Structure 1
Amino acid sequence: MVTRASSCLRRAAEGGRAKIVRYGRFLANENVTLEALLAGWGEQTAVAAAGRHVLAIQDTSEINFRTKPERRRGLGEIGKGTGHGLLLHAMAAVDAESDACLGLVAGKIWTRQGRVTVPHDKRPLEQKESERWISTAYRAKQVLSAAAMVTVIDDREGDIFAKWASVSAANFHLLTRSMHDRVLADGASMYATAAGWPIVDAATIDVVARADRPARRAKLVLRLGRVTLKRPQNASADLPRTVELALIEVAEVDAPAGVEPLQWYLLTTHEVSDVASAWRIVNWYKRRWIIEQLFRLIKTQGLQLEDSRIETADRLLKLTAITAKAAVMILQLVQARDGRSAEPASNAFNEAQIKLLAALATKYEGRTKLQSNPHRPQSMAWASWIIARLGGWDGYPRTKPGPITMRHGLQYFLGVASAWETLKDVRIN
């Protein structure tokens, strides 16, 4: 997939129809299960995470396969029922100090089978789609068991009382943006309680432009304190009546007219005792954008998963699991391009590929210091520099190679690596 820059079988297959058929049979094989593919996500990540503080960032993305009523392929509704496809829930491991993506941890991929008629609050947790936020966090405990500390980070959908009450443990923390105003143990409103706390600090940040808002400078104020959540009425009686957490409010003041001000209520099991620790928590939460970047690489900016024409939903589920793993490779190289990452190249390449990278590097080293690879040999940054050169980057530090350049470089490099392996087989035979 990475070599051909696509998850579409007709584009990715190298060798004609025979290879397409073989890969199709692989996806159709009953012994190739979605569960096994998902379990494989965390194998390399578990090794890379050892001894680190890992931010385990999870989120869900809709994969929209454009299809007609007569050719649904077994795909269920997504969004508000206007499209058909599947849902990808993934957790990525990120080093808390360097922001380096260490790989995928765990997740879930599914397609909906019709509409559920039982109201959401009448169903047990195990019958709700929101269960994925809890089960994926539990899986992270196993995969990241060698980490020094883990902080699971969710957006608002992960704000579930059962998760707060059951998942956290020593050195295994939770950090989530609040979805709604909660009732506290004393009957008070959580948001109103936070509003009564004093402002303890302020900061000014640059807000990037989006389709629905222009770029601007935003002044933020910070409040922090402890809250005790009351168990909701529809929660299981087996859960504790209350859960105590730290709450951090980050709110924009003096926002421009017509612009919705920024406001985050962040709940966490971490101890937040002062301003410095509060801003540290805020900065960890901001790392959520990394998994959004991964989803873009899976879809529009990378492997174009939504263009796949595979004919059945069960095969599309497996293809999605494979595509997510491939997209991580591109993300790791993009992150390493500036040299700040100390990750080894072995996080993405095998031993033979690293040797080939070293051989190719001599061809692309320039005559001047500016066009020489400045990074430690066999590091991810070193590999990223070589791949970017293969993708068309001129090597001068005034510009930085982006995802498309990295994709092109990988396409070229892995094509060369594949040809080299083929030639070795020919010589041996």
Structure 2
Amino acid sequence: MQIYGKIFSEPILKSINAIIARQPQISRRKLSREVCELMDWKSPNGKLQEMSCRKALLELDRRGLIKLPERKKSYAFEKKKKRKLDVPIASIEGHLSVLGEIVIEPIKSRYSKDSRAWFQLIENFHYLKSAKLCGAQIRYIVKSEKYGYIGALGFSSATYKLRARDAYIGWSEKARRENIQYVISNDRFLIVPTVKVKNLASFLLSKALQRIGTDWESRYGYRPVLVESYVDSSVFKGIGYLASNWLYVGNTSGRRDGIAKKVFLYPLQRNWRKILCQESADGLGHGRLIKDSSNWAEREFGSIRLYDNRLKQRLYAIADDFYNKPQANIPEACGGKARTMGAYRFFQNEKVTMDIILDAHTEATIDRIKEHKVVLAPQDTTILDYSTHPMTKDLGPTSHLDHQSIGLILHDTLAFSEDGTPLGVLDAQVWARDPKDRGKTRRRKELPIEQKESMKWLRSYRRVNEIAKLCPETLIVSIGDREADIYELFHEAQRKDSKAGLLVRVGKRRNRKVAGIDLWDYMSSQEERGQFQIHVPRRGNIRAREAQMSLRYSSIDLEPPKRFSSSDPIKVWAVYIREINPPPDIKSPIEWMLLTTVSVDNFSEAYQRVQWYTRRWGIEIYHRTLKSGCRIKDRQLGSADRLETALAVDMVVAWRIYHMTMLGREIPDSPASVFFKEEEWKALYCYVHKTPIAPEEPMSLREAIRMVGQIGGHLGRKSDGEPGTVTLWRGIQRLDTATEMYIIFTSSRDGP
């Protein structure tokens, strides 16, 4: 979990609890120092962030994740001291010249004479009667050459969130979190009441602002660019600030003490807004994963760029609810009015989008990709029909032929291992067709690709290429079917900065040319390099068969079409397979032409490229899981944007069940605990075997998945094979109920 910008993983929490267990009398200050050292939690100048750490420890204690040692009744510095005014105070009237030289000095030691004088002046003369400043701070004492102490100023860390200030700066929430340290606050400003000198206030403010940047940088290692201050209008008018060219930008809400205060800002640099509004790179590869959480949703979405922890916790809860009850609508899945309303508010929140949710999941997917030498990334398009939702805004026609059906178009890209295990979603493009674009298909040759839906293939490849750059030890291959056979895609893949491979099945209608010869004729004339056999499953009335295939491959220079007449041919490799002597009743024998940018130098590599392409069907299985398992068409939301946000959660949930299905085949002998929580696999065992006693050690993952399939309706006969994704969806839903009952019964058994 993330608190005050730091990740507190389970190992970190265990280490903190271990420190407390070893030293039960440890002070909270010493504990915060040790935790800062443990987490390397330091400010830009290398000092430990003790106060931020102490706040985080209090929050962890409040949540019950750690048990802080008992706090001492009081500390010496907390005792309220009545400071006697023992410094001479003069009564002065006139102009600035009567004061002689005026010195504004920073206080370097809390034990100095100037420090004691500063506290005495503030506590005796400042209207707040409090000299306490929080966080990073610099205090200034003001002295007159002739009359001694005449005033005091104090600067400290800025308010974390302030509506009027934030609106004037115009920074994003991310920028505010990253750059708030460059804003400081003028928290105390005092001129001794007996000193009545015209223009003194504006003079002192100007002199202090001239040096605060340098002094702050010297003490803390970075230079502030903006100063804020608040003026209680019931006491002061803020004339001194206005006279010093401070900017009045609005009022506070007055939530703390019921008094709305004027907010003033003073820029210390000309480019202050540019500095405050700049954001760190937010692309893939910059997220911080939470790998050791027991909650799968937190592991999957832990790096999400939402800066409100409540939104993160809501996302984890929604993902869990959708996973446990995938075929239910939102109220049924969430269970209870509060959780349901929370889910609807989450999907309505403008800060939460499909891209933000899926980017976090993709960060976790990249981590899984790095464990493989080769990863396949098929992309495909599917239609999401929401015709039963006529009140949902911003939907569009899903067919070029008529406009009876409405919905959204989804073009997504998944990552698969060579064995077919889905690793996660890499890209998702969702759009609604404009009803006014009817007839656009007939004009497709007149339009640039940027104005056509074909652009989806290039966007997906660019995303895969971006991810490939983050995984230099892994070959990632983008795969497309015949619809992806567009020259622009090959042109994109041959760029010098392209790290991802490309594999596309070619359609005969594309009329591809090699040395002026039709591609199909050219490859048919090549020498046969070998044969292999594939199993073709039953399809309708056509019986299953073992098909004998011939294989040819060659490197070719793919000639550009007329619209690319100025471009050079592109070097690719063609792999051509064709069924030999098909049965007489087979009207469409198997015949594939594959083009790839990954080199093919022998039969083994050519056959491997064919195997790669067969993994493309994994994305179709995923789409079926998403539609029939998640029942996404039953999501009742008011606009297409909200549907997209809900769809992002459903896509990750659908991947998880598909991942579980294939994981049971890839590593069947692994313990069930690699996927199921302890209470889940124990509840599963008790439910299936009708026993109240669960084993001490988990069963194998394959056994657990078969049990889930069994309670989902899978018969488990030899001819049935392994349970599929839809059957497992039903089983997961029943397992959720069984787990709830198991927890209830075991809790009562262990109770008093």
Range of TM-score over shorter length: 0.7 to 0.9
| Cα 1:234–1:66 shift into 2, 3 Å | same
Answering whether residue 627 of structure 2 is matched by residue 299 of structure 1, we say yes
Answering whether residue 588 of structure 2 is matched by residue 260 of structure 1, we say yes
- The answer to whether the 8 A contact 1:57-1:93 is kept is yes
Of 530, 537, 554 in structure 2, the residue corresponding to residue 201 of structure 1 is 530
Name whichever of 84-93 and 139-148 sits farther off.
139-148
Of 368, 374, 388 in structure 2, the residue corresponding to residue 48 of structure 1 is 368
What CA distance in whole angstroms lies between the structure 2 residues aligned with 1:378 and 1:401?
Answer: 17
| Cα 1:362–1:4 shift into 2, 3 Å | closer
- The residue identity in structure 2 corresponding to 1:124 is P
- Provide the secondary structure at the position in 2 that maps to 1:234: helix
TM-superposed deviation, 1:166: 2.1
Partner of 2:428: 107
Partner of 1:328: 655
| Cα 1:394–1:77 shift into 2, 3 Å | closer
The count of residues paired between Structure 1 and Structure 2 equals 410
Structure 1 portions without partners, runs of 5+: 425-429
TM-score where L is the length of structure 2:
0.49
Q: How does 1:169-184 map to 2 (within 5 A)?
A: 172-179=500-507, 180-184=509-513
| Cα 1:364–1:28 shift into 2, 3 Å | closer
Partner of 2:516: 187
> Higher RCO, 1 or 2 (CA under 8 Å, sep at least 6)?
1
Of 335, 347, 355 in structure 2, the residue corresponding to residue 35 of structure 1 is 355
Of 263, 273, 277 in structure 1, the residue corresponding to residue 605 of structure 2 is 277
Answering whether residue 335 of structure 2 is matched by residue 6 of structure 1, we say no
Q: Deviations over 1:328-385 (max 9, x none)?
A: 11111221334546889798x5xxx533245446647979xxxx99xx9698647535
Q: Deviations over 1:41-84 (max 9, x none)?
A: 3122111111411111111111112338x646431111334421
Q: How does 1:303-322 map to 2 (within 5 A)?
A: 303-322=630-649
Answering whether residue 551 of structure 2 is matched by residue 222 of structure 1, we say yes
- The residue identity in structure 1 corresponding to 2:609 is I
- The answer to whether the 8 A contact 2:683-2:742 is kept is no
CA RMSD of aligned residues (A): 3.6
Partner of 2:48: none
| Cα 1:95–1:115 shift into 2, 3 Å | same
Name whichever of 386-395 and 400-409 sits farther off.
386-395
Answering whether residue 563 of structure 2 is matched by residue 234 of structure 1, we say yes
| Cα 1:354–1:398 shift into 2, 3 Å | farther
Question: Could you say which structure has the larger radius of gyration?
Answer: 2
- Provide the secondary structure at the position in 2 that maps to 1:2: helix
| Cα 1:167–1:344 shift into 2, 3 Å | farther
| Cα 1:176–1:84 shift into 2, 3 Å | same
What CA distance in whole angstroms lies between the structure 2 residues aligned with 1:294 and 1:388?
Answer: 18
- Provide the secondary structure at the position in 2 that maps to 1:281: helix
Q: Deviations over 1:139-181 (max 9, x none)?
A: 1233342252111111112222222122356762111101344
- The residue identity in structure 1 corresponding to 2:635 is S
- The answer to whether the 8 A contact 1:249-1:263 is kept is yes
TM-superposed deviation, 1:303: 1.4
Answering whether residue 443 of structure 2 is matched by residue 133 of structure 1, we say no
Of 476, 483, 488 in structure 2, the residue corresponding to residue 157 of structure 1 is 483
What CA distance in whole angstroms lies between the structure 2 residues aligned with 1:142 and 1:342?
Answer: 35
- The residue identity in structure 1 corresponding to 2:598 is H
Of 386, 392, 406 in structure 2, the residue corresponding to residue 65 of structure 1 is 386
What CA distance in whole angstroms lies between the structure 2 residues aligned with 1:158 and 1:380?
Answer: 37
TM-score where L is the length of structure 1:
0.83
Name whichever of 248-257 and 112-121 sits farther off.
112-121
What CA distance in whole angstroms lies between the structure 1 residues aligned with 2:365 and 2:698?
Answer: 22
- The answer to whether the 8 A contact 2:376-2:415 is kept is yes
Partner of 2:396: 76
Answering whether residue 683 of structure 2 is matched by residue 355 of structure 1, we say no
